[in-house]
Structure 1
Amino acid sequence: MKTTEQTALITGASSGIGYELAKVFAQNGYNLVLVARNTDRLNEIANELRDQHGLETVIVIGKDLTQPNAPQEVYDEVKGFGVDINILVNDAGMGEYGLFATETDLDKELSIIKLNVVALVHLSKLFLKDMVRVNEGKILNLASVVSLMPNPYMAVYGATKAFVLSFTEALRNELKDTSITVTALLPGATNTDFFNKAGAEGTRAHQQAQTADPAKVAADGYAALMKGNDKVVSGLMNKTQALLSNVLPDQLTSQTMRKLMERPDESEESKTPSTASTLISLAVIAGGLYWAYTKYGLPGVLKKVNIE
């Protein structure tokens, strides 16, 4: 274990990628402030990480970040402990599956915006001011590969993640003359409880997620953060989709994502879920590359996807 006197605050730390990020920071000797609604689960994780890594400080803050005052309350509690946050990880997020006009719940979608956007902005404002004061710090924002393309059936979720990426890139520019870096982590569908909570279980994207390890996503995010990179797309398939988003028109990327977000028909159910969803993804990628090649030619495609 590496030793450090620094502290990382991680939201959404009770499960999924947030939990895996907490483990990565603990392995590297960071003290932790863990934030989520499930206080009991956070206490279990805190005890686990203290025992395994001998951390001096692991603070648990149970808070529902969809509530307007929650970010300020988190900041005030951290200050009450006398802790300085060196790294802020805005991981907390949620989604809602269905057609926006007729199927999804408005209150749930407004809560998604409050958590994925408002709380992230609020926490960043509070802790970034402290980082600027001492000219030191890092922020990791959990975006998504859907930050780069429209996301039918999860339209509000996809839009919030597009905001996160744009916000991250803008902050990087504003902070370019400081020692503070801001990084966006862009995973694709990952094997967490996200799809079940969003009501998107059984979709092709959910099936594809079964082979995507959240620990690998966390490791990629941590490495990019430490290097001060602007963003990292985790996973080869996701990297390919991200490249195609620079080439294909929005209408085609929207239809591609809609296909992935749909539930498979009976003909696909005869295949193993991961195989079926992977075949769909590969077919979409192959079709996209062919379309781009016929429209732009090879030099044009390489220029658009910035391959050097």
Structure 2
Amino acid sequence: MVGQKVSVKEFDMKKSLKLIGIFIIMLILITVFASCLTTTINYTLTFKVDGVTYATLKTDGSSAITIPEDPEKDGYDFGGWFWDDGTFNQSFTANSLLDAPISSNMTVYAKWTLDGEEPEDITYTVTFNTNGGTEIASLTIQAGATISLPSSPTKTGYTFDGWYLDSGCNTSVESLLSGTISQNTTLYAKWTLKDADTFYTITFYSKGGTDVEPITAKSGAEIVAPTEPTKTGYLFVGWCPDFEAYATVSEPSTGIEEENVGVLLRFKYNLYNKGWKN
């Protein structure tokens, strides 16, 4: 209303509200500005040397970084960091992320040279000790390359349990498969005995006849009768299962399970052509 007077108290209240509003606006602007200056670190960059983690650092994925100190290796010169392991075609530097930002955790790999040679000029031999199994030919691997294992060997009565880096078969080859080859290496086969099959021996006593070779057979297996023995002046009748009983065994047993068996030969004989006699 025209001419209405405003009290000092009301004026101070309006002034205070105005100042509070200005303060809130400034606070919002400061927060937004600060957030623009703050870089969020989202990704992990891993530096690997011969398959082993050498260093890690955090990055926003698009800024320059500080490269770790160069690694050292006896007899080798460090050839830099690379995105690709083994082929070493894509180099990685402190400014690589400026040109090619990343959007996930990444790994770079160390390259080595030996006496001025490139790794592709160096080869190593991987030898396979099969510990009694079928032979496996050695492999020639380029330095820095990964190993692809051959087909598994076999060994009668045993199950193959993998390759190991030591003769005692304590350290699995997995650690080598995840890295690269850097020296001549021997891998050892580990075996586990299968559930043992039970075998029995059948011995034939020919009682003066021609010798008959023993037969060894697995429990429950079907066996084939041996060639019949001969004895001058006698006719072979069959086999007895023991030394005392003379019941003729005309067909071989097919289920030998309890113990080794001795089989006695039973002959009928002709005495001066006077007839057959037991």
**Greater C-alpha radius of gyration:** 2
Q: Which has the higher helix share?
A: 1
Between structures 1 and 2, the one with greater strand share? 2
TM range (shorter): under 0.3
Larger relative CO (CA 8 A, sep 6+): 1 or 2? 1
TM (norm. structure 2) is 0.22
